[in-house]
């Protein structure tokens, strides 16, 4: 049974992506028909190079390299700032009352002035002892249009060739401002994602939906960080009432001392094909198809900031969605049986809808 399932996943992966180890890089923008036929309908990512991407025509490309411009333009804006002790929000961390197990931890979110948010990002440091925080200005609720409206004239409100191909405007446009301390764990989103880097770089690891069995998705109790400005300390508490979140168990960058243990726990990930690696530089756009698993790191510009805008278009909940859910159910069935538990939670396929990241 195991070998048959593994063969199925391998065949589907090759059929969808071919045998190339690289993501397509386009040097001219696709027409709406090309995007629809060759990428959107095939659930296949690509990079649009800076020389071709319309982002080079955005005023943001030059204006947002000036912190004083951002501070002046957003002087009256209040934004959402996410704080964590390690730079990893919506990710797995030791359980607050049982460090030998894990929980799913969400960031402490506070509303603050944009100038205070920038100061917090620049003051970020990982919590190596009992103090310190990592700040990330972001919120996946259409925050660019809701919180950063004063910057709207600096970049396109949508991506024209994507809008025509999808048949509608973006459901949400989000802005991300952070530094190299912020990291996004493996997850997937139910959106067609056009991701544009304005300053700095983003480093993505990508796996197609057919590799769901390699993510070792498990249910973890949900928890929330709270941060005290007086003590400068975090507290992690489980949500009440108790709630469980299905989440990817794999950390692709374990500490050297933990790597052997991680490899033994997650052999499908470490022994299978390597994830696609994408470094997205300023001015480039990544088309990240719906339901692709992605892990994100970033490198800042010479000011210490990485700024990006992404456009979330609604995905089609069609036969493709049903097919991937079927593959996921096979994966969960296999993992549950291996764990000696034949119960499959019927809600797993919807588990990440409230925890969308980059």
Task: For residue 332, name the pLDDT band (cuts at 50, 70, 90).
Answer: low
For residues 213 and 165, what is the distance between their CA atoms, to the nearest angstrom? Answer: 31
Q: Tell me the CA distances in angstroms from 212 to 6, 38, 313, one per residue in order.
A: 11, 23, 22
Q: Coil, helix or strand for 335?
A: helix
Token pair of 18 as six digits: 């071919």
Of 123-137, 170-184, 334-348, highest mean pLDDT: 170-184
Q: Using CB atoms within 10 A of its CB, is residue 110 exposed (0-12), middle (13-18) or buried (19+)?
A: middle
DSSP letters along 150-216, please?
Answer: GGGGGS-SS-HHHHHHHTS--SEEEEEEE-TT-EEEEE--SEEEEEEEEESEEEEEEE-GGGGGGS-
Given this model, what pLDDT does residue 351 score?
43
Nearest to 225 by CA among 138, 135, 106, 103: 106
In the prediction, which pLDDT does 53 show? 63
- Per-residue pLDDT tens digits for 210-238: 888 899 999 999 999 999 988 889 999 99
Measured CA to CA, the distance from residue 289 to residue 39 in angstroms comes to 8
336 pLDDT band (50/70/90 cuts)? low
Percent of the chain exceeding pLDDT 90 equals: 71
Task: Please report the DSSP string for 116-169 in residue order.
Answer: HHHHHHHT----SSS---EEEE--TTTHHHHH-GGGGGGS-SS-HHHHHHHTS-
Q: How confident is the model at residue 354 (pLDDT cuts 50, 70, 90)?
A: very low
Quote the CA–CA distance of 149 and 122 in Å, as a whole number: 23
Query: pLDDT tens for residues 28-81?
Result: 999 999 999 999 999 999 999 887 666 678 999 999 999 999 999 999 999 999
More confident residue, 133 or 129: 133
Which one is predicted more confidently, 319 or 143?
143
Percent of the chain with pLDDT over 70: 84
Q: What pLDDT sits at residue 218?
A: 94
- At 241-253, the pLDDT tens digits run 999 999 999 999 9
pLDDT tens-place string over residues 306-317:
999 999 999 987
Q: Of 353, 135, 357, 114, nearest to 225 (Cα)?
A: 135
**Residue, of 99 and 307, whose pLDDT is higher:** 307
Of 89-98, 118-127, 287-296, least confident by mean pLDDT is 118-127
3-state helix, strand, coil in the chain (%, to 5): 30, 30, 40
Would you say residue 334 has pLDDT above 90?
Answer: no
Q: How would residue 342 be classed by pLDDT, with cut points 50, 70 and 90?
A: very low
Confidence (pLDDT) at 46: 95
Q: Cα dihedral angle (278, 85, 358, 207), rounded to 10 degrees?
A: 50
**H-helix or E-strand spanning residue 247:** strand 244-247
The yes-or-no verdict on residue 348 having pLDDT over 60 is no
280's enclosing H/E stretch is: strand 276-281
**Average pLDDT over the chain, rounded to an integer:** 88
**Mean pLDDT value of segment 102-111:** 97
Residue 270 pLDDT exceeds 90: yes
pLDDT given at position 141: 87
pLDDT at 89: 84
Q: Cα(134)–Cα(150) distance, rounded to whole angstroms?
A: 25
Q: What is the distance between the alpha carbons of residues 207 and 187, in angstroms, rounded to a whole number?
A: 10
Q: Check residue 302 and report its DSSP letter.
A: T
Q: What is the pLDDT of residue 20?
A: 62
pLDDT tens for residues 148-201?
A: 999 999 999 999 999 999 999 999 999 999 999 999 999 999 999 999 999 999
């Amino acid at each position: 049974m195991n070998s048959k399932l593994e063969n199925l996943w391998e065949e589907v992966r090759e059929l969808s992506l071919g045998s190339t180890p690289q993501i397509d890089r386009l040097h001219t923008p696709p027409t709406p028909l090309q995007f629809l036929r060759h990428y959107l309908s095939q659930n296949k990512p690509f990079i649009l190079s800076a020389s071709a991407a319309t982002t080079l025509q955005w005023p943001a490309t030059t204006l947002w390299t000036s912190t004083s411009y951002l501070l002046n333009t957003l002087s009256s804006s209040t934004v959402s700032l996410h704080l964590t002790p390690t730079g990893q929000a919506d990710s797995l961390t030791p359980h607050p009352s049982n460090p030998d197990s894990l929980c799913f931890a969400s960031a402490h979110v506070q509303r603050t002035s944009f100038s205070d948010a920038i100061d917090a990002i620049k003051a970020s440091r990982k919590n190596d002892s009992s103090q310190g925080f990592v700040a990330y200005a972001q919120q996946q609720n259409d925050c660019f249009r809701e919180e950063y409206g004063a910057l709207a004239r600096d970049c396109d409100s949508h991506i024209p060739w994507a809008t025509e191909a999808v048949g509608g405007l973006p459901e949400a446009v989000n802005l991300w401002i952070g530094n190299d301390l912020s990291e996004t764990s493996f997850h997937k989103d139910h959106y067609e994602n056009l991701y544009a880097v304005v300053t700095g770089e983003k480093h993505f690891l990508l796996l197609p939906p057919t590799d769901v069995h390699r993510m070792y998705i498990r249910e973890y109790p949900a928890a929330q960080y709270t941060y005290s400005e007086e003590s400068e300390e975090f507290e992690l508490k489980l949500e009440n009432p108790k709630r469980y979140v299905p989440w990817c168990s794999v950390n692709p960058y374990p500490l050297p001392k933990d790597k052997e243990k991680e490899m033994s726990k997650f052999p499908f990930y470490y022994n299978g094909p390597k994830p696609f690696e994408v470094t997205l530089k300023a001015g480039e756009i990544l088309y990240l198809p719906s339901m692709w698993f992605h892990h994100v790191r970033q490198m800042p510009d010479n000011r210490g900031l990485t700024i990006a805008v992404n456009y979330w278009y609604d995905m089609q909940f069609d036969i493709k969605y049903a097919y991937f859910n079927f593959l996921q159910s096979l994966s969960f069935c296999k993992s549950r049986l291996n764990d000696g538990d034949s119960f499959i939670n019927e809600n797993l396929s919807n588990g990440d809808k409230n925890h969308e990241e980059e």
